[in-house]
Every structure is written in structure tokens, then in C-alpha cells.
Amino acid sequence: MDIATRVYNHRWKLDPIVRSLIDTDFYKLLMCQSVFTNHPHTQVTFSLINRATHIPLARLIDEGELREQLDHIRALSLSRGESTFLRGNMFYGKRQMFRPDFMEWFEGFRLPPYHLERVGDQYELTFEGTWSEVMLWEIPALAVLMELRSRAVLGRMKRFELQVLYARAMTRLWEKITRLQQIDTLRIADFGTRRRHSFLWQDWCVQAMMEGLGTRFTGTSNCLIAMRREVEAIGTNAHELPMVYAALAEDDDALASAPYQVLADWQAEHSGNLRIILPDTYGTAGFLDRAPDWLSDWTGIRIDSGDPAEGAETAIRWWQDRGQDPREKLIIFSDGLDLNRIEDLHARFAGRVKVSFGWGTLLTNDFRGLAPDDGLTPFSLVCKAAAANGRPTVKLSDNPNKAMGPAEEIVRYKRVFGVGDQAAQPVVV
């Protein structure tokens, strides 16, 4: 290494984890534009929730370091090249996906303040403000906490232990890729930004998938990596839309129609492969039963909770009931995927529907069993809309272990959406 580089590197007080506003999931930007247009004045609260309470984040991660990382993110703004990419790139076959008014706003955007408090061995981290601004905290906040936890564990390891750690993780991923090479008609994307081991590791994983799977690797949800590695940016919409729309509903009737209003707004803006239904926010079965007919014309359905095979069967039956040919429809599996589940689901559904996979945490953070005391195993950390205009949000999903919201509101939502008993699934990541 030359001396100048070394001196330059040592000048930094901080090794920033998130270095770009577009080091985030592409669908956040799509949803942000939608919110910017349709709900410019909605105030929301996003909260971080560590479902893995046995992992004492506040003991592992120094509060000062966490603040430095979050402050660094608040100092970020869109670079000229990033702006040019968002304005000029073709996303999902469409030029100018991001409108000039949105881009102008985004170019001047900084992330709003955060509220951080240590409570016992956990951190309470919340973000309050205008929806379109607060929502962009979700992914960087999660990525920072995940990577600071990684660094805490890595900091105790010796030099060659570290080399071998990454050697093992590389070997493990490559063995998965080698197995996936056997599936000719596979279509799979990286959805692993939020709970990645680290930025550099996600970047490595994406490149390994590119080399190993070629065109079967359809892209990454990470907008920055998509730009740098010249692959597709992937993603459509998420639970925060129906959750906030539902919290804003004035009565039970408005609540019952809120999830469909989300998709009506989406349809006004997007077509083709961006028209993907995420049906599980308040129970997939009831959502599909009561869905307006125009929704059956949409391109596909994303299965993100509950038993994935059951969810896919429900979707197929629904399309058939509505006179659609499931073979023309797309199912995207995106919940808790790993090699075996991908293989099983592909074997069961390929040909019956178009199948695609959004592979998340066990693509970009499968360090299970690789560090002392399993200290690098991934865990379930989320950052969710908790309130909108002062009212609490609710999520039911197809897995009671993923439900969120005040108990009395959950009862009300279950009644309005006709959700009965649900089968509980363990939440791994």
C-alpha cells in the first residue's frame, strides 16, 4: 500500500457503514415517491424492534458508536451520479421511473432526527416526522445495527480466524449457488440489504450470484449495488403502505377497504412486473376473497408470511376462481428462504405458476455456526411504522408471531378482516 493511501485511510475517525442514501432497498424509493405524491402531510412514527430479545444489542454495541453511524447517515445527500442514475436508468423496462418533482425533492433530502434511548440491554430507536422522510430510515437503521453487531463480534477475533471465517462463509454460499445451478428455470434476486452481515459482504454475495447463476440471478433490491454492479434493481411495495393507510381509516368500512386503496393508488402509477400484490398484511385468504376483480389482472403475488406452499396454493386457487390462468401469473417467495426451501418450492410450483425468489437474510448473512458462541448468527430485527397521524398501526400477517400493534386494535382488525385462527410459524430471520 502506498503511504498516501495509508495516511488518508487513517485520517478517518469513523468507518461509515452506510455511505449512500441509495444504499437502501429499491422499493423504498418507489414507495417514497408514491407517499410523496399521495400522502405528503401524513406524520408517522417508525420503531425498531429486536424480536430476538436474547441478543443484548445495547451490551454489544456502544451507544456512542451507534450515534456516530446514525449521525453520519443524516449527513448523507444524493450524489450527482446517484441522481443521474435514478433519473436516467431504465427500471422494470421503464425510463423516468422517478418523476422530476420527486427527484428534485430527493436531491435536497436529508434524513430527519432520530430518538435513541437505552432501555435495559436493548435500544429504543424511533423516527418521527413526515412519512416520506421517516420511511427512508428503515433500511439504513437496520443495516447499521446489524453491522455494528457483526463488528462487535469480529473485533474479538484474530487475524487468521477472521480470514477463515470469511473463507467458510464464502464456501457456504458457493455451495448453495452450485446447488441452485441445477435448477434451469430458476429466477432469484437478492433481498438481503436490511439484515446483511455487512455492506461489503452483501456486495460480494451479489457478485458471486452474478457469476454463479448468470441470467438466473435477476438482480438485487439494493439500489447502490444495482448501480455499481450493473444489475437490475428489484422490488415493488411493502407492508407499510397498507399499515399506514389502515391506521388513517376513519371507521371500520374505511379500514376494510384500505388495503385495496393502496393498490388502486399503486396501479395508477405502475404497470407490468411492478403490479405485485402483497396480500398478507391482514390475512391472505380474506384479502383475496374480498378483492375487487381488477386485482386479479395484476401480474403476481408476493408470499411473505405463513406456510409458503399453502400461501401459493391459495393464490393459485384464487386466480382460477377469478378465471385467470395461473401459469401466466407470478409468485414471488420472500419469507425466510434458504436453499432447501427454494428447491422445494421451485419443484412444487414451477410450471404451475411463474416462480421467483427474493432471497434475504440467509443469502447475505448466513454466518450461522461460524463464530465463537454462534455470535454472528442472524436474528430478527425489524423497523416498522408504529403510528400514523397519532393512531397506532396494526399488522396481522399470516403468522401470529409476526403480528404487531395494541391488543385491542388487533382484535378489531381481526374482526374487520375476518381473520380466525392462524398457524404459528417460527420467525428465524
Backbone torsions φ then ψ of 345, nearest 5 degrees: -65, -40
Which segment (2-10, 60-68, 101-109, 113-121) binds a second copy by CB under 8 A?
2-10
By CB under 8 A, name the one of 14, 90, 164, 264 that touches a second copy: 164
By CB under 8 A, name the one of 75, 155, 159, 251 that touches a second copy: 159
Q: Which is nearer to a second copy, 212 or 392 (CB)?
A: 212
Check: CB of residue 146 under 8 Å from CB of residue 60. Answer: no
At closest approach, how far in Å is the CB of 370 from a second copy? Answer: 10
Check: CB of residue 102 under 8 Å from CB of residue 36. Answer: yes
At closest approach, how far in Å is the CB of 1 from a second copy? Answer: 8
Q: Which is nearer to a second copy, 203 or 265 (CB)?
A: 203
Q: Which is nearer to a second copy, 4 or 75 (CB)?
A: 4
Which segment (162-170, 183-191, 280-288, 289-297) binds a second copy by CB under 8 A?
162-170
Q: Containing H/E element for 392?
A: strand 391-392
What whole-number distance in Å separates Cα of residue 190 and Cα of residue 178?
16
Q: Which is nearer to a second copy, 123 or 166 (CB)?
A: 166
Alpha helices, H only, 16-107: 26-38, 57-60, 63-74, 80-88, 100-107
What whole-number distance in Å separates Cα of residue 385 and Cα of residue 134?
9
At closest approach, how far in Å is the CB of 160 from a second copy? Answer: 4
Query: Binding to a second copy by residue 294, rule CB under 8 A?
Result: no
Instruction: Kindly state the number of chain residues that form the binding site for a second copy, as judged by CB under 8 A.
Output: 20
Q: Which is nearer to a second copy, 80 or 159 (CB)?
A: 159
- Identify residues 194-233 at the interface with a second copy (CB under 8 A): 207-208, 211-212
Nearest-5° Cα angle at 256, 252 to 258: 110
Backbone torsions φ then ψ of 391, nearest 5 degrees: -105, 145
Strand-pairing partners, residue 277, are: 301
Q: Which is nearer to a second copy, 105 or 166 (CB)?
A: 166
By CB under 8 A, name the one of 14, 90, 167, 268 that touches a second copy: 167
Binding mask 114-153 for a second copy (x = CB under 8 A): ----------------------------------------
Give the count of alpha carbons within 13 A of 354, CB side only: 12
Nearest-5° Cα angle at 102, 22 to 220: 30
At closest approach, how far in Å is the CB of 170 from a second copy? Answer: 4
By CB under 8 A, name the one of 63, 104, 161, 344 that touches a second copy: 161
At closest approach, how far in Å is the CB of 79 from a second copy? Answer: 22
By CB under 8 A, name the one of 5, 7, 11, 80 that touches a second copy: 5
What whole-number distance in Å separates Cα of residue 279 and Cα of residue 335?
13
At closest approach, how far in Å is the CB of 19 from a second copy? Answer: 19
Question: For residue 212, what are the CA distances in angstroms to 55, 175, 216, 339, 347?
Answer: 34, 10, 9, 15, 20
At closest approach, how far in Å is the CB of 2 from a second copy? Answer: 5
Residues with Cβ within 8 Å of residue 137, at least 6 apart in sequence: 46, 111, 112, 114, 127, 383
Q: Under the rule (CB under 8 A), what is the footprint of a second copy?
A: 2, 4-5, 158-161, 163-164, 166-171, 174, 207-208, 211-212
